[in-house]
Amino acid sequence: MPEAPTERARVHRLPERAAYDRETIEAILDEALICHVAWTDGDGRARALPTIHARVGDTLYLHGSRAARAWRAVAGGAEVCVVATIVDALVLARSAFHHSMNYRSVVLYGHGREVTDADELVTAARAITHHVLPGREAEARMPTAEEFKQTILFAIPIAEASAKVRTGPPKDDAADLELPIWAGLVPLETSGGPPAPSPDLLQGIAVPAHVAQPRRP
């Protein structure tokens, strides 16, 4: 990451919530389960799609179906804006105006590059599988050459990005502090439930430890 953000990556509203250091940006990308990718296609139409992502070093890998025409422009080098967000709490203020959420988000700008190298395809596939659930990449079968043909994997350098983080309680106006209205936080978290085996699972296969006690960043 550059020491100073570019003008479009700079956070202008509530800049005190901004973070531009690599550690913060990478941690948010690693923890967020999905991201949203926006771009303008060749006809000048706006597009945005959710997808699974994974970070390897200073590269963000994104996954899409080759059957979806929308992804072809991205894989071909179209400029994109990637947004990943984690919601940590609902912020309930006394006034509707000051209701908010505690969150961590990253906005990343860059150009997509389709991954075609065989070794890099496997690296990206393993990283995305790990992102879904750490440890799964060591057990799941990696894609075959035919399966890779049905999938578009593309890479974006993590070079132009910013993070924005809100923490803490509601920020009500002083005039509202005496209102008889409850105010505070409702924490939110993503957690795994009891594993539900597939109906066609072979008998005798135990639940792996990384599934029984899933851990994510």
Model pTM score: 0.92
Contact 182, 95 (CB under 8 A): no
Which tokens go with 186?
């409702």
| Residues whose CB is less than 8 angstroms from the CB of residue 41 and which lie 6 or more positions away in sequence, other chains included | 47, 70, 73, 78
The answer to whether residue 32 sits within a structural domain is yes
Tens-place pLDDT, residues 166-175: 999 999 999 9
Residue 3, pLDDT > 70, answer: no
Q: What is the pLDDT of residue 187?
A: 97
The answer to whether residue 196 sits within a structural domain is no
The answer to whether residue 211 sits within a structural domain is no
The answer to whether residue 215 sits within a structural domain is no
Tens-place pLDDT, residues 183-209: 999 999 988 889 999 999 999 999 999
Cα–Cα distance measured from residue 194 to residue 213, given in angstroms and rounded to the nearest whole number:
9
The residue type of 151 is T
The answer to whether residue 198 sits within a structural domain is no
Provide the pLDDT confidence category of residue 144 given band limits of 50, 70 and 90: very high
Residue 143, pLDDT > 90, answer: yes
Contact 112, 156 (CB under 8 A): yes
The answer to whether residue 1 sits within a structural domain is no
Burial 128-148 (b: 16+ CB within 10 A, else e): bbbbebebbbeeeeebeeeeb
Say which CATH number the domain at 154 has.
Answer: 2.30.110.10
Read off the pLDDT of each residue in 2-7 and give the average, rounded to a whole number.
Answer: 71
* Backbone φ and ψ of 137, nearest 5°: -65, -20
Which tokens go with 58?
């200073």
Domain encompassing residue 93: 15-171+179-188
The answer to whether residue 202 sits within a structural domain is no
Number of domains forming the structure of the chain? 1
The answer to whether residue 111 sits within a structural domain is yes
